[in-house]
């Protein structure tokens, strides 16, 4: 899944991953991260997710990272953020009050200078959007941007990968452990068998899909 794949998806408006509601795991379980207000929360591969608004409402400093300028402009327009972007190295930055920084740039090129201090990461549909060969680099980069003691709130899917081509990809509990186990304490906070198959419509009917939510704490 290279940049062109995602740019094209946004240009064609094939964005079935976008949720019109705030994510229910976020609203019901985020408090378990115990991250204090004013913490910097990174939302990698953020699309135009409304979850950023919820995090900002909780008084966090939110930093969303997204490749597509279409996503950025829709996020602004749909939330009545009337502001012009400034150029940064390799992309653009929109600042909405002091609460949300929306950075339109390749996540793999984002630096700590771009994000500021990051104490938490919200990963919904980001790790699972990436093919296996990109996930190690992604996890290392997320780890490098996060302070010691910082937390990752991670939502994954698990299903038979041979029955459907991602994205979203299946990321097993073992893989989460391989990617993050060295640097993080991993706590699985819930596991839900999905009844609604709409986001994985290409799967044969009645295939088992598990959604797992983890909180990882950086050692």
Ligand X SMILES: C[S@@+](CC[C@H](N)C(=O)[O-])C[C@H]1O[C@@H](n2cnc3c(N)ncnc32)[C@H](O)[C@@H]1O
Closest to 76 measured CA to CA, from 102, 113, 54: 102
Q: How far apart are CB 55 and ligand X at their closest, in Å?
A: 12
Please tell me whether residue 71 binds ligand X under the rule CB under 6 A: yes
Q: How far is the CB of 155 from ligand X (least distance, A)?
A: 9
Please, what is the minimum distance in Å from the beta carbon of residue 130 to ligand X?
Answer: 7
Q: List the one residue from 35, 55, 62, 67 that touches ligand X (CB under 6 A).
A: 67
Radius of gyration of the chain, Cα coordinates, nearest whole angstrom: 16
Among 46-54, 91-99, 191-199, 200-208, the segment contacting ligand X (CB under 6 A) = 46-54
According to the binding rule CB under 6 A, does residue 159 interact with ligand X?
Answer: no
Strand order in the sheet with 184-193: 86-88, 91-96, 100-104, 61-66, 40-43, 120-124, 151-158, 210-218, 184-193
Among 96, 107, 180, 184, binds ligand X (CB under 6 A): 107
Tell me the C-alpha distance between 213 and 92, whole Å.
31
136 binds ligand X (CB under 6 A): no
Stretches 61-69, 93-101, 189-197, 204-212: which one binds ligand X (CB under 6 A)? 61-69
Query: Quick one: tokens of 188?
Result: 């699985």
Do residues 187 and 216 touch, judged by C-beta distance below 8 A?
yes
Asked if 200 is part of the footprint of ligand X (rule: CB under 6 A), the reply reads no
CB atoms closer than 10 angstroms to residue 6: 20
106 in contact with ligand X (CB under 6 A): yes
Of 192, 149, 186, 191, the residue nearest 34 (C-alpha)? 149
Q: Give contact residues for ligand X (rule: CB under 6 A).
A: 6, 10, 17-18, 45-47, 49, 65-68, 71, 106-108, 124-126, 129, 167
């Amino acid at each position: 899944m290279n940049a062109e794949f995602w740019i094209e998806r946004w240009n064609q408006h094939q964005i079935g991953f976008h949720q019109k509601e705030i994510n229910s795991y976020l609203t019901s379980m985020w408090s378990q991260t115990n991250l204090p207000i004013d913490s910097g929360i990174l939302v990698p591969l953020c699309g135009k997710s409304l979850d950023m608004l919820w995090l900002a409402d909780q008084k966090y400093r939110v930093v969303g990272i997204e490749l597509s300028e279409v996503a950025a402009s829709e996020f602004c327009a749909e939330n009545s953020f009337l502001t012009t972007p400034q150029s940064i190295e390799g992309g653009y930055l929109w600042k909405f009050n002091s609460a949300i920084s929306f950075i339109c740039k390749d996540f793999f090129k984002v630096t700590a200078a771009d994000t500021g201090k990051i104490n938490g990461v919200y990963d919904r549909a980001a790790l699972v959007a990436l093919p296996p060969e990109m996930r190690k680099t992604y996890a290392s980069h997320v780890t490098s941007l996060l302070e010691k003691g910082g937390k990752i709130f991670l939502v994954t899917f698990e299903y038979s990968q041979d029955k459907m081509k991602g994205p979203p990809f299946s990321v097993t509990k073992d893989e989460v452990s391989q990617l993050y186990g060295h640097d993080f304490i991993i706590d699985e906070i819930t596991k839900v068998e999905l009844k609604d198959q709409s986001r994985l419509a290409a799967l044969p009917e009645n295939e088992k899909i598990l959604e797992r939510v983890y909180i990882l704490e950086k050692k």
